[in-house]
């Protein structure tokens, strides 16, 4: 945490008021500037008094926890951030080795979000999802590398270096929950906890051959994870099997008083409604295929994988969703202006929010941003720049249009789910690509980092639960995943469906050759 002595003193004079007023386009008569300064200082006195009060609030520092950096040869795919062994109790997750994305706080461990801006930062308390996993008996075995401030769906942007695909280390693993996915895929952990704003769990799950669940929005608390845009932030899980994902979901779901987004769903009741799959209908979203970046083999393998649901007695049909392809346009101002407000202006803090704020992380990011703002990742800088320009040109007009678009998009998804029980789409439009070289143009860099999220971002906007299920291997030996979507609160139905589907198809085990790289 940034100490009081490191913070700029909140006290102003007439010159400070003039400079701040100029930036805000305020004008004052010269003879009132001193009075304005005095009035501003009276307001700022409250900040000083609050600082003095908080120093006596009786809060206890978090006990330190042991961890180690991976030694040479222990991290051939670049997936580990740090290793640890944290166990606190016995329970439903006893025996489960858990790796936590570096954008989710584990008290006493480095907490950098894959960014050089937070390179020396440590978490002050456990994220709520971590606390619940530990209370259920899980063992946190370390943290996994993530992409720089989580703003990439690939795995080459982290300040910690490239995270390599376990099927071929010359290829990307997907992101931004890149390290967590790779460590689970290579059996160095059983469960990965990740975050997902536009596919950051489902994408690496697809390219690494895992089950990856983005739960219903608000089902699993986000408290203690780095935020990008509070209306699309999700915490979820990656595992080699659906049963482990389900156990983690049951252990962590539920209302958190520190996160106003959280809601209670009767997951067991929804699951009890499913006595079998016979007669159920699953709709293949036609307009989720054939994007300009889509790979023909991937589309074909997903369609073939969809037909396998008939082995469960389900009816597979085609369906189009109104406004589905507008999702990318809707997503742009929400993420661009949302991150402008939350990351740039508020340094992961933000006002108008009654939930818990991670003061130590906000302080650390704020201090770094004052002196090294250019270390923001390129992808985030472009989106923030667009957000600032849009806000200055038209206020929140574009953001408001996007919010109206979300309502239309959600209504379209719900109408489709009134016709079928589940929806299905390709998780990623193409298989894992090669790690790009250093000579990328700016436009190509952005496409390589973000171009795979066209389908996934839709369900971050609408909040529906979505699960990646491995369904095929490409001719080059890379896994392909399909995503199944269900109504809000039907998350355990999805994990049950993923489990039953696996009886008919298994992605081949990760080759051992990666260990020799």
User: How far apart are the C-alpha atoms of 400 and 49, rounded to whole Å?
Assistant: 37
* Beta strand 97-101 pairing with 139-144: parallel
Catalytic residue among 103, 152, 154, 176: 176
Kindly list the domain boundaries of the chain, sorted by start residue: 1-59, 80-333+377-516
Dig out the tokens for 252 from the structure.
């962590």
pLDDT of amino acid 56: 63
Active site residue 200: yes
The conformational region for residue 158 under phi > 0 = left, psi -120 to 50 = alpha, else beta, is beta
Q: What are the angstrom distances between the C-alpha of 7 and each of 2, 3, 11?
A: 7, 7, 12
392 Cβ partners below 8 Å, 6+ apart?
Answer: none
Looking at the structure, give the CATH architecture of the domain made up of residues 1-59. Orthogonal Bundle (1.10)
SS3 for 359-406, per residue?
A: HHHHHHHHHHHHHCHHHCCHHHHHHHHHHHHHHHHHCCHHHHHHHHHH
pLDDT of amino acid 62: 59
Q: What is the pLDDT along the chain (517 residues), one digit of tens a residue?
A: 444 444 555 788 999 999 989 988 899 999 999 999 999 999 988 888 877 777 665 555 556 899 999 998 999 999 999 999 999 999 999 999 999 999 999 999 999 999 999 999 999 999 999 999 999 999 999 999 999 999 999 999 999 999 999 999 999 999 999 999 999 999 999 999 999 999 999 999 999 999 999 999 999 999 999 999 999 999 999 999 999 999 999 999 999 999 999 999 999 999 999 999 999 999 999 999 999 999 999 999 999 999 999 999 999 999 999 899 999 999 999 988 888 877 766 555 566 778 888 888 988 988 898 899 899 999 998 988 888 888 889 988 999 999 999 999 999 999 999 999 999 999 999 999 999 998 889 889 999 999 999 999 999 999 999 999 999 999 999 999 999 999 999 999 999 999 999 988 777 677 765 444 4
Q: Residues 198, 331: contact at Cβ < 8 Å?
A: yes
pLDDT of amino acid 387: 86
Look at domain 80-333+377-516 and name its CATH class: alpha beta
Q: Residues 99, 184: contact at Cβ < 8 Å?
A: yes
Active site residue 37: no
pLDDT one-digit tens code per residue, 407-466: 999 999 999 999 999 999 999 999 999 999 988 898 899 999 999 999 999 999 999 999
Active site residue 101: yes
User: How far apart are the C-alpha atoms of 495 and 501, rounded to whole Å?
Assistant: 10
Give the containing element (helix H, strand E) for 165.
Answer: strand 164-165
Catalytic residue among 37, 177, 178, 200: 200
CA angle 176, 180, 185 (to 5 degrees): 120
User: How far apart are the C-alpha atoms of 156 and 164, rounded to whole Å?
Assistant: 8
- Tell me the pTM: 0.92
Residue 315, number of CB atoms within 10 A of its CB: 15
User: How far apart are the C-alpha atoms of 400 and 411, rounded to whole Å?
Assistant: 17
User: How far apart are the C-alpha atoms of 257 and 250, rounded to whole Å?
Assistant: 18
pLDDT of amino acid 366: 87
Q: Is the bond preceding residue 84 a cis peptide, omega within 30 degrees?
A: no
Catalytic residue among 101, 152, 214, 341: 101
């Amino acid at each position: 945490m940034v100490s009081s002595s490191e913070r700029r003193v909140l006290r102003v004079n007439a010159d400070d008021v003039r400079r701040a007023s100029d930036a805000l386009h305020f004008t004052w008569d010269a003879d009132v500037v001193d009075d304005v300064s005095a009035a501003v200082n009276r307001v700022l006195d409250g900040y000083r008094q609050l600082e003095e009060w908080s120093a006596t609030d009786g809060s206890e520092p978090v006990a330190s926890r042991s961890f180690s950096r991976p030694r040479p040869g222990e991290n051939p795919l670049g997936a580990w951030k740090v290793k640890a062994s944290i166990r606190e109790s016995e329970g439903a997750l006893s025996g489960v080795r858990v790796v936590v994305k570096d954008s989710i706080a584990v008290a006493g461990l480095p907490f950098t979000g894959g960014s050089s801006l937070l390179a020396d930062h440590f978490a002050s308390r456990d994220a709520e999802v971590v606390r619940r996993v530990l209370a259920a008996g899980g063992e946190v075995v370390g943290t996994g590398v993530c992409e720089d401030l989580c703003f990439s769906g690939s795995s080459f942007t982290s300040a910690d270096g490239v995270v390599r695909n376990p099927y071929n280390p010359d290829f990307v693993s997907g992101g931004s929950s890149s390290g967590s996915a790779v460590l689970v895929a290579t059996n160095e952990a059983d469960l990965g906890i990740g975050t997902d704003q536009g596919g950051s769990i489902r994408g690496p799950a697809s390219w690494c051959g895992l089950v990856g669940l983005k739960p219903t929005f608000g089902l699993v608390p986000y408290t203690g994870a780095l935020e990008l845009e509070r209306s699309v932030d999700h915490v979820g899980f990656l595992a080699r099997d659906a049963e482990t994902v389900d156990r983690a979901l049951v252990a962590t779901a539920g209302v958190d008083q520190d996160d106003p987004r959280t809601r209670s769903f009767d997951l067991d009741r929804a699951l009890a409604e499913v006595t079998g799959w016979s007669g159920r209908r699953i709709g293949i979203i036609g307009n989720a295929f054939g994007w300009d970046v889509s790979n023909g083999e991937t589309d074909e393998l997903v369609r073939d994988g969809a037909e396998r649901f008939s082995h469960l007695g389900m009816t597979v049909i085609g369906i189009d969703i109104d406004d589905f392809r507008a999702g990318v346009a809707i997503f742009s101002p929400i993420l661009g202006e949302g991150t402008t407000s939350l990351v740039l202006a508020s340094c992961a803090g933000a006002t108008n929010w009654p939930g818990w704020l991670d003061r130590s992380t906000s302080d650390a990011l704020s201090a770094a941003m004052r002196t090294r703002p250019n270390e923001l990742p390129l992808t985030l800088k472009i989106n923030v720049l667009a957000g600032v320009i849009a806000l200055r040109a038209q206020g929140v007009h574009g953001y408001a249009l996007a919010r109206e678009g979300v309502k239309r998009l959600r209504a379209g998804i719900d109408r489709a789910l009134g016709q079928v029980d589940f929806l299905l789409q390709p998780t990623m439009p193409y298989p894992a690509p090669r790690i790009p070289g250093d000579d990328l143009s700016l436009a190509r860099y952005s496409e390589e980092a973000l171009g795979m999220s066209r389908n996934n971002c839709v369900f971050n906007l609408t909040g529906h639960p979505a699960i990646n299920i491995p369904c095929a291997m490409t001719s080059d030996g890379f896994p392909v995943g399909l995503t199944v979507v269900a109504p809000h609160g039907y998350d355990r139905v999805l994990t049950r469906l993923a489990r039953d589907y696996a009886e008919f198809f298994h992605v081949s085990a990760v080759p051992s050759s990666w260990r020799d790289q």
